[in-house]
Amino acid sequence: MDREIDTRTGDYTGQIINHLQNAVYLRLMTPLGSYWADKKLGSLLYTLEREKDLQSVSLLARQYAQQALQPIIDDGRAADISVATMQPHNGMLKLNIQVTQLTGEKFIFECPVKVI
């Protein structure tokens, strides 16, 4: 059980959660290699902020998210994680991440990625 992190602000909400939302959030929003205690934690999603709003960016975002979230499966904390992208071509790309925990419980995590 963890204290929930508000995905819009990065602050704690005061709620207690028993799913992997915080782990997913931290792995996606932390720039890869920037966390001093674990250089493997994080993603390359931050590099897409300067990319044009092209279809190829959607493929890169999905790949970066899958790479960042794979350790959660490797550690045995989740049974499956699937990543889908939605690209309305308005300067934002949305990642829809479905996490299946070992208990079979599923939750959806949405992650916006800014592009130009």
**How deeply is 110 buried, as exposed, middle or buried, from its count of CB atoms within 10 A (0-12, 13-18, 19+)?**
exposed
Q: How far apart are CA 12 and CA 1, in angstroms?
A: 13
- Which one-letter amino acid corresponds to residue 71? P
Each residue's pLDDT expressed in tens, for the chain with a length of 116 residues: 677 777 677 777 777 767 788 889 899 999 999 989 989 999 999 999 988 888 899 999 999 999 999 999 999 999 999 999 999 988 889 999 999 999 899 989 988 888 88
pTM for this entry: 0.87
Asked whether 71 and 62 are in contact (CB, 8 A), the reply is: no
- Tell me what pLDDT residue 17 has: 66
In sequence order, the β-bridge partners of residue 97 are 83, 109
